[in-house]
């Protein structure tokens, strides 16, 4: 892990000092007792590399750039400092987290709610594909944390009475490399115009592209950069194998692999929605508990976290298209 730190207003190129020793517990990072207990309840026994690198600086009030791959614990790296600050200064609309997809926004909100369950944390999710009136009602509860996609977030800023981000203390741009795609750029620019400049900003991304670097210079002040991955790296716990098989016998080989992994949670990615349906049907006929997940699913159905969690427990094998994966709480 590399921790990069340079105190120059407006960002700029940073120097790389020697990495600090990694903490073995959240308490050693400076996380308060209430949140250490919440981490224990979630099964988080020790900080990940990106959490160990980012949390101490965030707790000191620094802006943070976190570079890490999926599964590296990025959400905890920004959620814990934000909730700890909220404990000291409780106010509605305390933090705004933007993500490029509704699924990621839901996952982030679930982690905030789990970590803040003992302190009465209220979180609102503002994403497309879901009834806007339900979101208006959640905004009316004056949540502490707002998580959303740029387009729907901007819609509510324009149209929902009483909703404002002018007093936000924390801004998080998660998967910033994807947020900077053309479809989000205009909405993101408009949102950044109404958020106060006096704030803490956390930017998390898989890679440090030119666009992300430009956004860093525009949005962050004296940032600390914590980097735990290269462009094509994966998490240490991921075991990777590949098989070269005849195209006509792929399904047979897949069944063999599944038989070698009894009791495992398995996600299988295929190219089309129809393939998820047909392969799930085939596997169920062979006695496997398989579920098809694709873009043809109702957004309301998919975004219901209780339904998703129940389905995960009932169907440990999931057939997905690349545009519709998700993570469970486990």
Check residue 230 and give its pLDDT: 55
Looking at residue 9, what is its pLDDT?
A: 32
Q: What is the pLDDT of residues 193-236, one digit of tens each?
A: 999 999 999 999 888 778 788 788 878 888 999 988 655 555 56
Identical topology for domains 2-227 and 247-321: yes
Residue 326 contacts residue 107 (beta carbons within 8 Å): yes
pLDDT at residue 229, rounded to an integer = 62
Please give the CATH number for the structural domain made up of 247-321. 3.40.50.300
**CATH code of the domain occupying 2-227:** 3.40.50.300
- Which residue positions in the chain have pLDDT lower than 50? 1-21, 301, 305-307, 309-310, 324-330
Instruction: Tell me the pTM.
Output: 0.71
Q: What pLDDT does residue 298 have?
A: 52
> Residue ranges per domain, the chain?
2-227, 247-321
Among 231, 216, 118, smallest CA distance to 171 is for 216
| pLDDT per residue as tens digits for the range 23-76 | 689 999 999 999 999 999 999 989 999 999 999 999 999 999 999 877 788 999
CA distances for 94 relative to 84, 137, 146, 147, angstroms: 12, 18, 8, 11
């Amino acid at each position: 892990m590399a921790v990069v730190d340079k105190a120059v207003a407006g960002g700029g190129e940073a120097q790389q000092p020697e990495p600090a020793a990694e903490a073995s517990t959240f308490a050693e990072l400076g996380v308060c007792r209430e949140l250490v207990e919440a981490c224990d309840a979630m099964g988080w026994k020790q900080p990940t590399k990106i959490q160990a690198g980012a949390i101490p600086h965030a707790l000191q009030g620094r802006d943070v750039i976190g570079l890490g791959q999926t599964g590296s614990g990025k959400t905890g790296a920004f959620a814990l400092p934000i909730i700890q600050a909220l404990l000291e200064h409780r106010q509605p609309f305390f933090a705004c987290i933007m993500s490029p997809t509704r699924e990621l926004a839901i996952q982030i909100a679930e982690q905030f709610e789990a970590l803040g369950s003992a302190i009465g944390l209220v979180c609102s999710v503002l994403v497309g594909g879901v009834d806007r009136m339900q979101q208006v009602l959640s905004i009316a509860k004056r949540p502490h944390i707002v998580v959303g996609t740029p387009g729907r977030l901007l819609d509510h800023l324009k149209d929902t009475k009483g909703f404002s981000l002018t007093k936000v203390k924390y801004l998080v741009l998660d998967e910033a490399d994807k947020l900077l795609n053309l479809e989000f750029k205009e909405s993101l620019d408009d949102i950044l115009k109404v958020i106060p400049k006096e704030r803490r900003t956390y930017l998390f991304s898989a890679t440090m592209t030119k666009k992300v670097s430009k956004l860093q210079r525009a949005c962050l002040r004296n940032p600390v950069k914590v980097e735990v991955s290269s462009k094509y790296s994966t998490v240490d716990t991921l075991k990777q194998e590949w098989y070269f098989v005849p195209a006509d016998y792929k399904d047979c080989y897949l069944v063999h692999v599944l038989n070698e992994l009894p009791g495992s949670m398995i996600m299988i990615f295929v190219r089309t929605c129809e393939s998820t349906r047909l392969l799930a049907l085939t596997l169920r006929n062979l006695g496997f508990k398989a579920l098809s997940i694709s873009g043809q699913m109702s957004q309301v159905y998919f975004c219901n976290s209780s339904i998703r969690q129940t389905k995960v427990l009932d169907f440990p094998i999931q057939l997905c298209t690349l545009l519709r994966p998700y993570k469970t709480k486990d």
